[in-house]
Chains A and B, each alone.
Chain A
């Protein structure tokens, strides 16, 4: 692994617009009650610490890393479920492609069961499905994964809470301050509007940006359907006039 300064040097990151993000303390998502800070976050201009970050070479990845249908058995035997391609762009707030950045995903199997020592849901494991994938975006910021559509699953929150079908995404960008983990949901899933984790985001229009539409233009006849999911990371501030950061 190597890292590099973004082109153009260490430009400040655009401050996060916290109104697009979930509220940290949300009693409907019970675990957040004791895991959210009580004091306000201390806001200030980014420093080189947040403006630089790890960069990953394509050589670190294996040929099946982005194929969850085959990677758990190293190509021996495919996973069971609805075969899908998940693809999209990673962009920044200035609508520029985020090139050569690491994208990692993880998910449950077609029955809603995770391959994790802590998951005790009685839906069975699929012996041919692991549930993790990773890739690096290309020169246009594109990524794609081949996987199976994850099932919904129940979780111990309120009496009868079920997570919608979802895939977890982890994305890097060019600075550590751009680090983002989110979840992709599927168009038309009726569980989305019942989910207290989805509802930690308070504005419907921002929730909609986490819902991937069905995309026939990328599906392959008699093989797999496709869903498109674009991700936006923080951008870098672009101003003609640079003075000393205010108040620092």
Chain B
């Protein structure tokens, strides 16, 4: 026998299921008016400093099917690289939002501010990025990934630097289409599979 640890284990995850919207985005499920305020509608409010951008894409499964029931959340810094609540952070950037795939064609769109560079504890700097957490029917534990931007210098990013197969870095880069407009597809499995994190 050994001494007992006074720590606990994390609760096991379970899939969010196909009806995740009831609890998280009730208006999407058809439950208008239950809540006075629906949370996570936008990462920004009027007056946010920096460049407002639009990112759109699809989430694609291992058989090439576009997922129409997926939901993801984003979390990002403001244009100065500060997270909401940190000293000096932009009061008009909450940094958190929920994004649903369109029930017809699976397309999603995120309108947000382009994030700045974020410092790490040891002083190294992360390239601009948006953290993503995806849940859906068939996903047993929420998947963590990130959006970076192909018009930024990502060469010194400490997280991208950890990706052993360099050609896979490309799967995390939003592709610029026009000024302020990007495309970013997420592939869950197989050809061109997006890099997912455990961090």
Contacts and interface: CB of A to CB of B under 8 A. Distances in A.
Interface of A: 1-5, 10, 13, 15-18, 20-24, 26, 29, 31-39, 41-50, 52-56, 60, 62, 65, 71-72, 91-95, 102, 104-106, 114-119, 130-134, 168, 170, 176-177, 179-183, 197-198, 200-201, 206-207, 209-210, 231-235, 244-245, 247-248
13 contacts: A2-B94, A35-B189, A37-B143, A38-B193, A42-B198, A47-B199, A93-B9, A93-B10, A116-B18, A117-B29, A130-B31, A182-B12, A231-B11
Contacts of A46: 199
Contacts of B122: 244-245
A130 B34 contact: yes
A180 B138 contact: no
Interface stretch (B19-27, B46-54, B173-181): B19-27
B155 interface: no
B3 interface: no
A172 to B, nearest CB: 9
A105 B17 CA distance: 13
Nearest to B75: A176
B196 A41 contact: yes
Contact of A181 (B6, B10, B13, B161): B13
The 8 closest A-B pairs by CB, nearest first: A106-B23, A31-B138, A4-B85, A35-B138, A3-B84, A22-B140, A34-B62, A54-B96
A162 to B, nearest CB: 14
Contact of B83 (A42, A48, A234): A48
A116 B19 contact: yes
A118 to B, nearest CB: 6
Chain B's interface: helix, strand, loop or mixed, by majority? loop
A53 B75 contact: yes
Nearest to B162: A44
A49 B7 contact: no
B96 A3 contact: yes
B16 A181 contact: yes
B111 interface: no
Given A34-B189, A179-B73, A201 B133 contact: no
Given A49-B131, A53-B96, A132 B198 contact: no
B22 A106 contact: yes
